[in-house]
């Protein structure tokens, strides 16, 4: 029986197929096995991209349950705690626009790999930080690396997958987004309680190294058309505008709204924003093409992305502080109360993959409405409440997150030409992370102000402003311990009342953000059917360009 091997080239390198010239079953068996291997191998790029996405989004929320331990170890204030979260989110948000645009020019896989390496190195620096200043700086560098990864993920997925495969890829990527963001507090709680808070950063190392290897082996390189001049001025102006705005919001509740520092920060943000708009309208290849905002659908999607993170995740920081510093929960226990949100988000993301490609508008609007409902359901806390009071609302909000997360990038890519994939992917993720950073800052002001208001009304606290700063910084137990023993029970009740009042106000604002975003989506977003747009062949690169280099096996 004659048997030959035929070699042919494919998108993942050369491969051998067996050809049976004798008519027996051997060729059929070998061919079936080879075909199955090829089908499995086509998902390797998705796995590589999802590994990086898992780590970078896990690090957005993983610190929330570790903050009280950090506060005790490093002696931090509420502003320090906010910056541990916001330094990462803000660096990520500030650079995503530039990364998405420049990756089209210098290579998307290259930028993704550099981001992975920077993120891994910065994670080590976070783990060995001796004080809050070093930790905040390392978190900012970590955010730079995360921007390199997150700013290229949507374009890389769009490059590798088309048609039904693209719908599956975005559903899996969306599920990864949801699980990473919601599982962060659980993973952080386990590592903090049983090892040390520094392990929340060290856990990144093996996963990121695996992602590097898989990316080198399976992800193709691609660039946009032609060589483009970098928009340095636009990048710097946007970074300064978002950074000074967030810094001003954080400092306002400790320094005051009318102090020279606060006013100077807001003025700088306004000037930088005006400079950004001027730069983008004049640059041939801007990091964000402002003309896209003339399309109502694009504008609606960006507003939804901005409100999503604030409405769904920014309040988790303050819920974690309440459960640990006021209720006395261990980090794992606090994280487990948030776990149902993770499960609900994952389930909804999987279901969204079944109808998201045809009705992303419904998925986004419905998901945001669920987030609003879930946030509102949690805003019923009182001095006698426990962590279980949050669970039902977190489940509903998690279902909403799972619907919105895959719907946003799918809808955004459907509203612009394929060659804008890198820019639009960066824009969606930029507005999401900027919403998270601003949400942390705004909610921090609301939270501390409401606590201060309750303490003032009570009248027993000599300095309500200072006491509110101590309480909101995670020092509730030490605050109560400083009172005479016969007054501690009353002080404990007052602290619980003040904390839940602050949380309820934050949750009501989050619900309002989600509801507003849902209505805006219904009013503005109109997404064409997937088959109405020109779809490249499965192996094509957005924009029609060829890959500049094949991935090695």
pLDDT tens-digit map of 2-32: 444 443 333 334 444 444 444 444 444 444 4
Distance of alpha carbon 75 from the chain centroid:
27
Tell me what the pLDDT averaged over the chain comes to.
78
CA–centroid distance for 514 within its chain:
16
DSSP single-letter state for residue 225: S
The pLDDT assigned to 68 comes to 78
pLDDT at 298: 86
Over residues 154-183, mean pLDDT = 75
- Domain residue spans in the chain? 3-30, 45-231+291-456+494-529
pLDDT for the residue numbered 10: 38
**b/e string for 440-457 if b means 16 or more Cβ within 10 A?**
bbbbbbbbbbbbbbbbee
Tell me the residue length of the chain: 553
Tens of pLDDT, residue by residue over 229-281, are: 667 888 888 888 888 887 888 777 667 788 888 889 899 999 999 999 998 88
For domain 45-231+291-456+494-529, say whether CATH 1.20.1250.20 is its number. Answer: yes
Residues 78-89 have pLDDT tens digits of 667 778 887 887
Task: Give buried/exposed letters for 321-355 (b at 16+ CB in 10 A, else e).
Answer: bbbbbbbebebbbbbbbbbbbbbbbbbbbbbbbee
Residue 552 predicted with pLDDT over 70: no
**b/e code 200-210 from CB counts within 10 Å (16+ = b):** bbbbbeebbee
Instruction: Spell out the alpha helix ranges (H) of 222-327.
Output: 232-255, 260-282, 296-312, 316-321
pLDDT of residue 535: 39
pLDDT single digits (tens) 372-396: 999 999 999 988 888 889 999 999 9
H or E element in which residue 144 lies: helix 132-160
Which pLDDT tens digit goes with each residue over 94-151?
Answer: 787 777 667 767 778 888 889 999 999 999 999 998 888 899 999 999 989 988 888 7
Would residue 107 be called left, alpha or beta, if left means φ above 0 and alpha means ψ between -120 and 50 degrees?
Answer: left
Token pair for 325: 């510093």
3-state secondary structure 516-529: HHHHHHHHHCCCCC
pLDDT of 190 above 80: yes
| C-beta separation of 413 from 158 below 8 A | yes
174 versus 214: which is more confidently predicted?
Answer: 214
Question: 320 with 336: CB under 8 angstroms?
Answer: no
Helix spans in 62-107 (H): 67-74, 78-106
Residue 8 phi, psi (nearest 5):
-145, 155
Whole-structure pTM value = 0.74
């Amino acid at each position: 029986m004659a048997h030959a091997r035929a070699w042919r080239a494919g998108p993942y390198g050369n491969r051998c197929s067996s050809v049976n010239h004798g008519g027996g079953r051997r060729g059929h068996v070998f061919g079936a096995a080879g075909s199955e291997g090829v089908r499995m191998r086509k998902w390797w790029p998705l796995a590589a991209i999802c590994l990086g996405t898992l780590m970078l989004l896990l690090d957005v929320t993983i610190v929330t349950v570790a903050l009280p331990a950090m506060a005790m170890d490093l002696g931090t204030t509420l502003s320090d705690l906010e910056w541990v979260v916001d330094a990462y989110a803000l660096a990520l948000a500030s650079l995503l626009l530039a990364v998405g645009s420049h990756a089209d020019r210098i290579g998307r896989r290259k930028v993704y790999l550099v981001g992975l390496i920077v993120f891994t190195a910065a994670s080590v620096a976070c783990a060995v930080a001796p004080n809050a200043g070093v930790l905040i700086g390392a978190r900012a560098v970590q955010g730079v690396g995360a921007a390199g990864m997150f700013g290229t993920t949507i374009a890389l997925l769009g490059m590798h997958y088309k048609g039904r495969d693209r719908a599956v890829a975005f559903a899996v990527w969306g599920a990864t987004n949801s699980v990473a963001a919601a599982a962060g507090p659980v993973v952080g709680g386990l590592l903090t309680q049983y090892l040390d808070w520094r392990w929340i950063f060290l856990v990144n190392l093996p996963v990121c190294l695996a992602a590097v290897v898989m990316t080198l082996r399976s992800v193709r390189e691609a660039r946009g058309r032609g060589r483009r001049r970098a928009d340095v001025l636009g990048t710097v102006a946007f970074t300064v505008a978002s950074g000074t705005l967030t810094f001003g919001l954080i400092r306002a509740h400790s320094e005051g709204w009318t102090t020279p520092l606060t006013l100077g920060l807001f003025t700088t943000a306004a000037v930088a924003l005006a400079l950004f708009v001027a730069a983008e309208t004049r640059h041939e290849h801007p990091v964000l093409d402002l003309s896209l905002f003339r399309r109502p659908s694009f504008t609606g999607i960006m507003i939804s992305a901005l409100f999503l993170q604030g409405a769904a995740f920014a309040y988790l920081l303050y819920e974690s502080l309440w459960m640990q510093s006021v209720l006395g929960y261990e980090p794992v226990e606090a994280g487990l109360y948030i776990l149902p949100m993770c499960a609900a988000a994952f389930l909804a993301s999987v279901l969204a993959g079944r109808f998201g490609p045809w009705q992303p508008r419904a998925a986004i609007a419905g998901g945001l409405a669920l987030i609003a409902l879930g946030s509102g359901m949690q805003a019923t806390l009182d001095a006698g409440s426990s962590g279980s009071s949050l669970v039902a609302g977190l489940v509903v909000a998690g279902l909403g997150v799972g619907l919105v997360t895959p719907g946003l990038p799918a809808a955004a890519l459907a509203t612009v030409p394929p060659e804008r994939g890198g820019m639009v992917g960066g824009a969606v993720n930029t507005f999401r992370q900027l919403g998270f950073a601003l949400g942390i800052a705004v909610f921090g002001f609301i939270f501390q102000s409401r606590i201060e208001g309750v303490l003032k009304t009570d009248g027993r606290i000599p300095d309500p402003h200072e006491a509110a700063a101590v309480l909101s910084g995670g020092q509730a137990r030490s605050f109560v311990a400083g009172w005479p023993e016969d007054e501690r029970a009353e002080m404990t009740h007052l602290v619980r009342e003040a904390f839940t009042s602050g949380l309820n106000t934050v949750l009501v604002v989050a619900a309002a953000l989600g509801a507003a975003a849902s209505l805006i989506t219904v009013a503005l977003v109109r997404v064409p059917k997937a088959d109405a747009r020109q779809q490249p062949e499965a192996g094509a690169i957005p924009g029609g360009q060829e890959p500049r280099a094949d991935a090695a096996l």
